Amino acid sequence: MKLKALVFSFLALGLAACSNLEAEQPPTAYHSRDLSDSDGDGVINARDLCANTRKNAVIDNDGCPSVIYSEEENKLHILFANDSTEIPAAYDKHIKNMSSFLEKYPQTHIVLNGYASPVGPAEHNKYLSIHRADNVYKALVAAGVSPDRIETIGYGDSDPVEADSKEEMMTLSRRVTASVVGMDSSVLESWTIYDQRKD
């Protein structure tokens, strides 16, 4: 019993001595580098190669957004009557559609290729091909396309269209053609359980 009392006394003295001691404060941690992320994309500024990343963009390890590229093609194919450079009214909608396409893709340009059927003098056919392309040029400008985005070339009767009959070949060869490819890009967006991904 005396031994227990003695042990208890030593413990009590030890605890009393400890209560007078104060624990040292832990040292303050200082970052040796700037770990801030100005655009909030999860990549620190020191490693971020693409500053000001759009919110919700899917990014790579360099902080750059994932971009999806797409392209769209629009063609123009106008047929002309024999020995005529006048655009038939049936093609007004085609001109308007091409104008809208060029407005959608402002970085694109269009080359109008004029042709004639291989009948009559070659010099006259060259004239027809040039003026057919010029008239389509004027129609596109009237529809709102900037003149500096359009080029015209007259090929004369040098490239007739292959067809089953001579009459069909003549009809299909009196033409103006063009093909324009528009490129577009968009940033891939991240998603959560509350929305649906669109890729």
- Domain limits of the chain? 70-184
**pLDDT attached to residue 194:** 44
What residues of the chain score a pLDDT lower than 70? 1-22, 29-34, 37-43, 45-49, 59, 61, 66-67, 185-199
Single-letter amino acid, residue 153:
I
Contact call for residues 129 and 155 (beta carbons, < 8 A): yes
Q: Which of 90, 95, 92 is nearest to 112 (CA)?
A: 95
**pLDDT attached to residue 197:** 45
Neighbouring residues of 49: CB distance < 8 A, sequence distance ≥ 6: 62, 63, 64
Place of tokens 């299909």: 172
For the domain 70-184, what is the CATH code? 3.30.1330.60
**pLDDT attached to residue 8:** 57
Single-letter amino acid, residue 71:
E
Contact call for residues 150 and 137 (beta carbons, < 8 A): yes
